[in-house]
Amino acid sequence: MNPLLSGAALPRYDEIRPEHVAEAVAKMAEEVEKGLAVIEAEPRPPTWATLVEELNTLEEWFTRVWSPVAHLNAVRNSPALREAFQAAQPRMVALGLKVEQSAALYAKLLAVKNGPEWGKLDLGQRRSVEQRILSAELSGIALAGEKKERFNKIAEELSQLSTKYNNNVLDATKEFRLTLTAPADVKGLTDSIKEMLAHSYARQNPPARPDPANGPWLLTLDAPVYVAFMQFGRSGALREDLYRAFISRASSGGRDNTPLMEEILRLRREKAALLGYGNFAAVSLATKMAKSAGEVTELLEQLRQASLAPAKKELKEVTAFANAAGHAGGLNQWDVSYWAKRLEEKKFGYTDDELRPYFSLEKVLRGMFAVTHKLFGVTIEPADGEARTWNPDVRFFKVFDGAKEHIASFFLDAYSRPENKRGGAWMNTVVGRRVSPAGLRIPVATLTCNFTPPVGEKPSLLSFDETNTMFHEFGHGLQHMLTAVGYPDVAGTSGVEWDAIELASQFMENWCYHKATLLALAKHYKTGETLPEKTFEKIKAARSYRAGMIMLRQLGFALTDMALHTAGKPDIKAIEKEVAEKTAVIPPLAEDRFLCSFSHIFAGAYAAGYYSYKWAEVLSADAFEAFEEAGLEDPEALARTGIRFRDTVLALGGSVHPAEVFKAFRGRSPSPKALLRHSGLLGDN
């Protein structure tokens, strides 16, 4: 039997093969189209039960087949799976449009909204109906004839272009390999970095065995390798080579994303015009918390003004430190991370490698689960072996409420596999929470990271930044898993406006700077010794280190994204130059082509929405301030505030507009002051 068609409660990941995709998609599409026809032809006046509940059941077919395929394409990529995925994409896009562009469904949804049952529906049900109506309108429901055909063609083309763009980035990243054999090439690298590079070489050159002390070592453009070498590699020439390769990924030859970017932007403008919007940013913001591009720009400019002077001062300080250490003249782009890291070590007195032994993945998980229990009253227990996984390293956990009721589960795919797993970290939905006549279905998530795997008897040791990443992704998972909403459209992270979706994840990062939380999990993997308190204080002080430069970098991305999607016909290079003049403390190189690998906006869900990170950071910092006001050292006050956070931000999901959810928790609208204060940028603002 095709595992994608098994109907199992959880996907049979270990059995799914590329050859299963075409058959499963064809069968699923046939069943969905049949079910859609039945719903469309229903002669009785539509109700929540006869319309939305039936649609939810129908859409589960879609999710059950396609979600595992998309997931495996990201974590167990292969040429055959990629080919099967791309071959099925047009059918999936067409099927999605067929549902969203059904005139009969749209009329029925409007009938529910304007009918006698509307007043009896709760807020979640109303939001579900209203979001379906808006989704239909943004999917071209009002279009007919040639305009509808053109709209659908654009949707298919955009899907294919985004996939091609992403594949170009993945292939360009994998293509760069620089083998190092001379000890001078790895001067400055920590033992753990040399170990990572030696294992990287061995994986790519079997049957070679890794030799961290003597090499060879392999440099790649995978984020963990790139960041580590830029921060620790003493060779300026190698840092320059690596930097130039990184900023020019997917910008030349057969993998040049430049024409794809231009076509994607053109098609998005055409799509917006067909829908009656002035630009694509307006389309994007129709489903966001921010009301307009002007409101977004106002916030970004406020943050830019607060960051610019501190950023210039930070660069001056790093440059002076580098000059005193023997670096002649100003800093190049490939010098900043290296010298900033050396200054950080001097100012705060610790290194990443000194911290790593205190942050074994197992102890980080244990501590993270403990603070989750204290704040939200839930218990998390390992359940390895109770679900099928796509790799032997993947773990499975169950979440229990205070009364030991099993309320959710999640997979954790923690380790880097550069040969077939894309970089970064993310949370995905496997199953959404649903309450229906058939009973309760509990939510299940996947948390995916790219940490260094265990080596021999040494466990996976995380940097402090990676510890933050684990808390971040778990925050997304908590919003998915602790939802109290039973309607799939608006349960957990579903239906949450995109610029509010990072609230819970960024909120959880704050606990890495909470003394009791961090010291409870920071235990040396060999001795069990707790991280010294003075080291914690230095970590906390380092939180605002180079905050201005880091803030400006993110603002540069957000402003570029918004400018590309508001311009009538954007001149990409001119926009990059204009934004850089306002946000870059070191002018970019002429060959800098970072947009060619900016997958967030060209192959992800952040088009005209990259600002969402900063928007949600304002929300999350303000939310954490409520815990600070309650008293971070008062367990009872933290628990009370934690339950309020769970009952609002985590429980309500997309069933209530995020502005109202935030007010329900905080008692007022959000303010950027907490973010600026946490970043050390408040000043006189």
* Rounded distance between C-alpha atoms, residue 359 and residue 192, angstroms: 13
Domain boundary among the residues 248, 267, 300 is at: 248
* Rounded distance between C-alpha atoms, residue 312 and residue 585, angstroms: 6
Do 220 and 98 share a domain, yes or no?
Answer: no
Average pLDDT over residues 226-242: 97
Q: Give the amino acid at 677.
A: R
Do 29 and 81 share a domain, yes or no?
Answer: yes
Would 81 be classed as within a structural domain?
yes
Would 256 be classed as within a structural domain?
no
Do 36 and 126 share a domain, yes or no?
Answer: yes
pLDDT at residue 495 is higher than 60: yes
Do 30 and 123 share a domain, yes or no?
Answer: yes
Would 200 be classed as within a structural domain?
yes
| Each residue's pLDDT tens digit, 110-141 | 999 999 999 999 999 999 999 999 999 999 99
How many structural domains are present in the chain? 3
Cα 202-206-207 angle, rounded to 5 deg: 100
Candidates 647, 556, 560; CA nearest to 307 is 556
Do 286 and 228 share a domain, yes or no?
Answer: no
Residue 332: which domain range?
A: 278-356+547-610
pLDDT at residue 608 is higher than 90: yes
| Per-range mean pLDDT, top range of 374-383, 417-426, 451-460 | 374-383
pLDDT at residue 684 is higher than 60: no
pLDDT band at 109 (very low <50, low <70, confident <90, very high): very high
Catalytic residue among 344, 473, 497, 617: 473
Do 11 and 112 share a domain, yes or no?
Answer: yes
Do 206 and 309 share a domain, yes or no?
Answer: no
The H or E element that residue 430 is part of is strand 426-431
Do 11 and 107 share a domain, yes or no?
Answer: yes
3-state secondary structure 183-242: HHHHCCCCHHHHHHHHHHHHHHCCCCCCCCCCCCEEECCCHHHHHHHHHHCCCHHHHHHH
| pLDDT, position 456 | 86
Alpha-carbon distances, residue 330 vs 79, 320, 324, 550 (angstroms): 45, 9, 12, 19
Would 105 be classed as within a structural domain?
yes
pTM of the model: 0.86
| pLDDT, position 146 | 97
Would 365 be classed as within a structural domain?
no
pLDDT band at 604 (very low <50, low <70, confident <90, very high): confident
Is residue 473 among the annotated active site residues? yes
Do 92 and 183 share a domain, yes or no?
Answer: no
Would 180 be classed as within a structural domain?
yes
Do 12 and 115 share a domain, yes or no?
Answer: yes
CATH of the domain at 292: 1.10.1370.10
Domain boundary among the residues 574, 595, 610 is at: 610
| Each residue's pLDDT tens digit, 620-635 | 999 999 999 999 999 9
Domain boundary among the residues 563, 590, 610 is at: 610
| pLDDT, position 590 | 92
Would 258 be classed as within a structural domain?
no
CATH of the domain at 27: 1.20.1050.40
Do 96 and 12 share a domain, yes or no?
Answer: yes
Alpha-carbon distances, residue 18 vs 68, 87, 147, 387, 388 (angstroms): 11, 11, 35, 21, 17
pLDDT-above-70 percentage for the chain: 100
| Each residue's pLDDT tens digit, 293-347 | 999 999 999 999 999 999 999 999 999 999 999 999 999 999 999 999 999 999 9
CB 446 within 8 A of CB 414: no
| pLDDT, position 107 | 97
SS3 100: helix
CB 110 within 8 A of CB 133: yes
Dmax (CA) for the chain in angstroms is 82
Residue with tokens 């900033």: 340
Do 193 and 77 share a domain, yes or no?
Answer: no
Would 600 be classed as within a structural domain?
yes
CB 620 within 8 A of CB 614: no
